[in-house]
Structure 1
Amino acid sequence: MREIPLAAIRARAYDIWERNHRPDGYEIQFWLLAERELRAEQDSRRDAAEALPEAPAATPAPGKASVRTLVDTSAGTAEG
């Protein structure tokens, strides 16, 4: 689990404080709420990344047929 930068928590807590009309005395509650929201977003992104299906293994491209093979194959099937 990656650490959430303090600047991100501070910015989110400030946004929460403003959304709540800037009340006094709620610094700790808003800080903890901001940290909880950011952690939930981080966990959600991690879970979404883990839920993605793995890419299928690359299959080698089929080899190119030589001109001789193409001529021999078409000569055997042509009516005439």
Structure 2
Amino acid sequence: MEAPGEITFQQIRERAYDLWERNHRPNGFEIEFWLMAERELKAERDGKRDRPGVNQVNNSSA
């Protein structure tokens, strides 16, 4: 069972494949696309974690 917020092998594989296709399917860049996919997914996950929730009040505007 995976932990909440854990990035799975399947998610990385799908993102790497999408990146590879969007870059015209170059040969020999498997590792680069895999690492790029991991970085993107981690940034998305961490960005969601850092955003305040809908029910939280922003006191700095008072």
- TM-score between both structures, scaled by the size of structure 2: 0.76
In structure 1, the residue matched to 2:33 is 30
Which ranges of structure 1 fall in alignment gaps of 5 or more residues?
55-80
In structure 2, the residue matched to 1:3 is 6
3-state secondary structure, aligned to 2:7? coil
Q: Give the number of the structure whose alpha-carbon radius of gyration is greater.
A: 1
Which ranges of structure 2 fall in alignment gaps of 5 or more residues?
58-62
Q: What is the identity percentage for the equivalent residue pairs of Structure 1 and Structure 2?
A: 60
Aligned length: 52
In structure 2, the residue matched to 1:13 is 16
Greater RCO between the two (CA within 8 Å, min separation 6)?
2
Of residues 36, 44, 47, the one that matches 1:44 is 47
